[in-house]
Amino acid sequence: MSRIGIISDTHDRLDKVRSAVALFNRLKPDRVVHCGDVVAQFVLSEMRSLSMPVSVVFGNCDGDRVGLRRRAAELGFASDEGPLGFEQGGRRFVVSHQLRHEGSRPVIINPGEACGWLFGRSTAALLDTETAEVEVFDL
């Protein structure tokens, strides 16, 4: 079984980033993906204590992409403007901040917003790559 932790739209909410890091370190997915709107480098620094590989795709609120890309590289995180592709559990994944249909029959997962500012709920998700089941967790 392979699992992927998914988070997006942290928007500098360090309290929620810390909650997500604790959640993912407890659940132990094979990889964590940040789907954009990291916003600042210190958010990536907070994610350095994750005990699994991290991939980051940039969103529409990620202004200093040069600095974010440099910090991600320093931390050993894969990063890209998006979409970002990778293989996990024998399957190919493409991650983007904006909705794009890449390839055939995509499975679209929205982990919600970690920051909780727009809808009042801070969430992250866990994808089981074998069953395609997604579980959403409150942060």
Residue 94 has phi, psi (to 5 degrees) of -130, 125
pLDDT at 132: 84
pLDDT at 117: 87
pLDDT at 81: 83
The encoded tokens of residue 40 equal 């600042």
Check: CATH 3.60.21.10 for 3-138? yes
Give the residue from 93, 99, 65, 100 showing the smallest Cα distance to 79.
65
**Beta bridge pairs of residue 32:** 5, 54
Low-confidence ranges of the chain (pLDDT < 70): 97-107
Say if residue 83 is preceded by a cis peptide, omega within 30 of 0.
yes
* Other CB atoms within 10 Å distance of the CB of residue 100: 12
The reported pTM is 0.87
